[in-house]
Structure 1
Amino acid sequence: MQFNIKINKKFDYITRGDKQNMNLLFKKVKLDELTINQIQSDYDAGKYSIEDLTRAYLEQIYSIDQAGPKLNSIIQINPDVIEEAKKLDKDRVVGRKKSVLHGIPILIKDNILTQDNMATTAGSVLLKNHYAQEDASVIKSLRNAGILILGKTNLSEWSRFRSTKTSSGWSSLGGQTLNPYQLDITPSGSSSGSAVSVSSNLCTVSIGTETLGSIISPASVNGIVGLKPTLGLISTSGVIPVASTDTPGPMARNVRDLSILLTHMVTKSECFKISGKKIINYEDYLDIDALKGARLGVNRSYTGYCEQVDTVFEKAILKLKELGAIIIDPVFSSNESELRQKGFELLLFDFKEKMNAFLSNNPEIKPNSLSDLIELNIKYCDVIMPTFKQELFELAQMKSDIDSKEYEEIKRQCFHLSVEEGIDKLLNIHQIDAIIAPTLSEKPHKTDLVNGDIPRISCAALPAFSGGAHITLPMGFIDKLPVGLSFFANRNQDAKLISYAYAFEQNTFFRKKPNFEL
């Protein structure tokens, strides 16, 4: 196997020829925090075309992601994106606008299958030539809505489930993604590129995936809004798996765009199965007064780790009170440590079963099993494992099958700790609508490509293992770095949490564009 890595990172259609002449042919677009509704309004007014906007984003990607600060958030560009933009323009002209997402440029995390001329790699050079035979379910939904896929984003390799010691945002195929607010700070992960690209105005919205914090954590660190939806609300069909807690989720610069994107990520069958309704328009739930009378529990299990984070969080609590929320303080999740321990065991069991199934069901992929994957990583360790190894792969391979009594007991314990003695208990005992906490309890650390990440306390475990919804949005800054506020609850509360986040956002507007500082 040869590893002369060649992926679609070239921008020939931007850089070739006389740039002045190109600027005469295409309208310039100012990519300054553009929203979905603003773009559609501009399309309607003829200010620019879908192709114009696409070329503007591609030039921005070239200037910021591959040159300048070299954020490295994008692992490959869709080589057909200009032709696809032209087709969407033609459809629009003849009245075939599919939805409010028609012609909206998006970036997709590179563990989500797309049936096109882009590989789906999970960040591994072993999969650099893996071209999917079918779109993931969520991609089918978005294509039906007319969205335009600019490319795929870098990620922590295998969704950060290869090594116990790794750097978030690093993959053997894509290298290290940088934090746009401070380039030497971790971008967090595993949906690193999806968060960084949205924050840096390299696309309008993006898609990430989460198993345990992989949307919520990078959204917080990169100053955007991220939602980990109710488990099962969005299909995982066609997503390279980690565990039973996997879900795709929307990432955006504002809550309204996130709600629009979520609406079109959910299929009718999934929506009905979860909510009993054929379709939910999450934008309908945006209410600037949603916090009036809302009972919010302050989970103190996540405070006391960093004075600066706590100070920002206390100010957010005061703001929530000012907006009419009833604050119940404190509430504690007493079994958090045990849940993390049992949850880790569950992920190992799940990973072995799900990865074996994925590899065997996609015969175009070599390797065909987790054991083959481990062997190939060893064979090509100079490229794939120059520093970080594959301890998690090896631990998962040692687990028994999921029909074992051990697995059933771990599953039962995780449900008990996260639901019966966890989120449901907190909501019921305190009669609260949702729980709030700092998304991350400590400041993000510097990127370290030798020693890897420094463990940080996060509030992701309870909603991840319970299957409940979890949303984060900016609540302030520490030393020019964003700090996220989390709202989470039990299953099927996505719309309610979105409404709370919207009310907080519209009364604070903490989001600031990054400056790409060292």
Structure 2
Amino acid sequence: MTARLKSTLLALPLGAALAGAGALPALAEPGVADYRARIAAIDDAGPMLGAVIALNPDAEAQEAAARKRKGPLAGRAVLIKDNIETRDPMPTTAGSLALKDNVTGRDAPLVARLRASGVVILGKTNLSEWANIRSDHSVSGWSAVGGQTHNPHAIDRSPCGSSSGSGAAVAAGLAWAAIGTETDGSVTCPASVAGIVGFKPTVGLVSRTHVVPISHSQDTPGPMANSVHDAALLLTAMAGTDPADAATAPADAHRGDFAAGLDTATLKGKRIGVLRQQVGSNAKVLALFDQALADLKRGGAEIVEIAYKPDETMFRDEFTVLLYELRADLGAYLAGLPGTPPVRSLADVIAFNRAHADTELRWFGQETFELADKTTDRAAYEQARANSLRLAGPEGIDRLLRENKVDLLVAPTEGPAWPIDMVTESHGLSGIGAGSLAAIAGYPHLSVPMGAVEGLPVGLSLIGAAWDDKRVLEAGAAYERARTAPLATPSLKRRGE
């Protein structure tokens, strides 16, 4: 990289509003060396975003081969959330010191598919440790391995969890795109507060094999990028049936070119259901959301107001499901790891954390882990899963779409990012978002930037029916073109500086 290119790269403003690869210069196709320079300048030094947990030492060699391929992803440098295995000489830690040496030498199938499309694995991103399931008091974006990830729009604000590093990295221009994972909100919330696009596909469209799990009912990887088109390119590469993951059996029947036709997709003739009771009461978020609805309408959509109040047992039973499946699914993953990791079960992880309390338990505990390890009533679990799935899917999203004759549901994804407070905790605005419906049902959920509140991004959620991923992406791309609100540019400073 020339000195001129490097100085241009590091001086450019950030933000998803910029064309092409976002924060990177249009004068040259950025590569591994360019991204490494930016990571060194603003992730490891300067504002110290803490978004990248490890760099792939083989990335440049892999890039040379990848650039010889054909296709839109050839040579694209992508960061992978550090609960997804890659065969590169980097550990897969889930942010825990218990897995700091977990170098498996194997690619998750989704990673193998990305490589086959020409993607270069640049490195791994930090995350909320164990994907934010260890404690109700966890701090989004913190892990014992990676420390605290910061929001590039205001570095004293939360990046949201648990794909916090992936969201912050894309917003800060540390890679062309990134891969996150979601159980409930962990792709869409980081995307919303980072001002980027995040897509949680239908559960089963993308393999979860060799991904550190929480719940086989709700877990899914998803792309995080600077545009709906880029996210769709990644999804096209990632999607497909995996014999080792039973949930993906229908995937090949539903996969395709998710990016095809997005540039001409239209809102005309679409009926959009507005989940008004999931908008919250903050005046500035309300104003921004109403502007987004006006943009949708101007783009040709018909806006349909919907009154919906969820049955609270849905959330109660979701928690039971996550507890039960965490113990079983994480235990199976740990038991199957190659080598000699110090943990082979959830009980082992709990014991490890107690033995390393000064580093692992300094800021918050592991009461959710401890509760999960005691959640063994299968009949109660099956009843909870049946009820939560029914309320979120057939009697939730499906009923709302059918009875209101709408194609999609919309609401703000999340409020503006809240301050990071490791001591007394801090939380965002309440009553905003409907992402849990899509998470519990396993349906597609797209977050697209719709503007900012006082310089802090807020995303627009678009939620559809099962396997309706392409329709959701098309509506998101059409909304991108119709959007009139200015997007926020990351400041890499503390709020108010």
Considering the TM-score relative to the shorter chain, is it more than 0.5? yes
Matches within 5 A, 1:169-208: 169-208=141-180
Residue 82 (structure 1) aligned to one of 53, 60, 67: 60
The structural deviation recorded for 1:288 is: 4.2
1:120/1:289 CA distance change after superposition, 3 Å? closer
Task: State the match for 2:314 in structure 1.
Answer: 339
The structural deviation recorded for 1:344 is: 1.1
In 2, are the aligned partners of 1:36 and 1:101 still within 8 Å (CA)?
A: no
Task: State the match for 1:297 in structure 2.
Answer: 273
Task: State the match for 1:17 in structure 2.
Answer: none
User: Aligned AA for 1:246?
Assistant: D
1:373 aligns with 2:349: yes
1:280 aligns with 2:233: no
Equivalent-residue separation in structure 1 for 2:131 and 2:251 (angstroms): 29
Equivalent-residue separation in structure 1 for 2:148 and 2:6 (angstroms): 33
Task: State the match for 1:258 in structure 2.
Answer: 231
The structural deviation recorded for 1:267 is: 2.5
**What's the secondary structure of 1:284's corresponding residue?**
coil
**What's the secondary structure of 1:184's corresponding residue?**
coil
**What's the secondary structure of 1:448's corresponding residue?**
coil
Matches within 5 A, 1:74-473: 74-89=52-67, 92=68, 97-243=69-215, 244-267=217-240, 273-274=249-250, 277=253, 279-335=255-311, 337-364=312-339, 365-400=341-376, 404-440=378-414, 442-454=415-427, 456-457=430-431, 458-473=433-448
Task: State the match for 2:47 in structure 1.
Answer: 69
Provide Cα deviations, 1:99-149, integer angstroms capped at 9, x if missing partner. Answer: 321110000000001112100000011111110142111001011111111
Equivalent-residue separation in structure 2 for 1:288 and 1:316 (angstroms): 20
Unaligned runs of 5+ in 2: none
Equivalent-residue separation in structure 1 for 2:450 and 2:60 (angstroms): 37
Equivalent-residue separation in structure 2 for 1:63 and 1:394 (angstroms): 40
User: Aligned AA for 1:415?
Assistant: L
Equivalent-residue separation in structure 1 for 2:91 and 2:122 (angstroms): 13
**What's the secondary structure of 1:150's corresponding residue?**
strand
TM-score (norm 1): 0.88
Equivalent-residue separation in structure 2 for 1:376 and 1:203 (angstroms): 33
The structural deviation recorded for 1:36 is: 6.5
TM-score (norm 2): 0.91
1:499 aligns with 2:478: no
1:288/1:517 CA distance change after superposition, 3 Å? farther
The structural deviation recorded for 1:451 is: 2.8
The structural deviation recorded for 1:287 is: 4.6
Task: State the match for 1:11 in structure 2.
Answer: none
User: Aligned AA for 2:256?
Assistant: I
Provide Cα deviations, 1:37-77, integer angstroms capped at 9, x if missing partner. Answer: 999xx8xxxx757xx62111110111111111111100111
Equivalent-residue separation in structure 1 for 2:23 and 2:256 (angstroms): 22
The structural deviation recorded for 1:475 is: 0.8
The structural deviation recorded for 1:453 is: 4.2
Provide Cα deviations, 1:303-351, integer angstroms capped at 9, x if missing partner. Answer: 233221111111111111111111111231432x321121111111110
Equivalent-residue separation in structure 2 for 1:80 and 1:395 (angstroms): 41
Equivalent-residue separation in structure 1 for 2:71 and 2:28 (angstroms): 18
In 2, are the aligned partners of 1:119 and 1:129 still within 8 Å (CA)?
A: yes
1:37/1:154 CA distance change after superposition, 3 Å? closer
1:288/1:452 CA distance change after superposition, 3 Å? farther
In 1, are the aligned partners of 2:23 and 2:173 still within 8 Å (CA)?
A: no
**What's the secondary structure of 1:259's corresponding residue?**
helix
- Mean CA deviation greater in 489-498 or 501-510: 501-510
**What's the secondary structure of 1:132's corresponding residue?**
coil
Equivalent-residue separation in structure 1 for 2:251 and 2:350 (angstroms): 40
Task: State the match for 2:453 in structure 1.
Answer: 478
In 2, are the aligned partners of 1:29 and 1:56 still within 8 Å (CA)?
A: no
In 2, are the aligned partners of 1:374 and 1:393 still within 8 Å (CA)?
A: yes
The structural deviation recorded for 1:274 is: 3.3
The structural deviation recorded for 1:289 is: 4.8
The structural deviation recorded for 1:450 is: 1.3
**What's the secondary structure of 1:357's corresponding residue?**
helix
Task: State the match for 1:8 in structure 2.
Answer: none
In 1, are the aligned partners of 2:276 and 2:306 still within 8 Å (CA)?
A: yes
In 1, are the aligned partners of 2:267 and 2:300 still within 8 Å (CA)?
A: yes
1:451/1:274 CA distance change after superposition, 3 Å? farther
Unaligned runs of 5+ in 1: 1-21
- Mean CA deviation greater in 360-369 or 133-142: 360-369
**What's the secondary structure of 1:420's corresponding residue?**
helix
Larger Rg: 1
Residue 2 (structure 2) aligned to one of 20, 23, 33: 23
In 1, are the aligned partners of 2:240 and 2:252 still within 8 Å (CA)?
A: no
1:272/1:133 CA distance change after superposition, 3 Å? closer
Equivalent-residue separation in structure 2 for 1:161 and 1:137 (angstroms): 24
Taking only the aligned residue pairs, the percentage that are identical comes to 37
The structural deviation recorded for 1:210 is: 0.1
Equivalent-residue separation in structure 2 for 1:333 and 1:102 (angstroms): 45
User: Aligned AA for 2:225?
Assistant: A
Equivalent-residue separation in structure 2 for 1:272 and 1:126 (angstroms): 30
Task: State the match for 1:35 in structure 2.
Answer: 20
Provide Cα deviations, 1:209-255, integer angstroms capped at 9, x if missing partner. Answer: 00000000010000000000001000001110011200000000111
Equivalent-residue separation in structure 2 for 1:339 and 1:310 (angstroms): 26
- Mean CA deviation greater in 309-318 or 447-456: 447-456
In 1, are the aligned partners of 2:96 and 2:129 still within 8 Å (CA)?
A: yes
Equivalent-residue separation in structure 1 for 2:116 and 2:446 (angstroms): 26
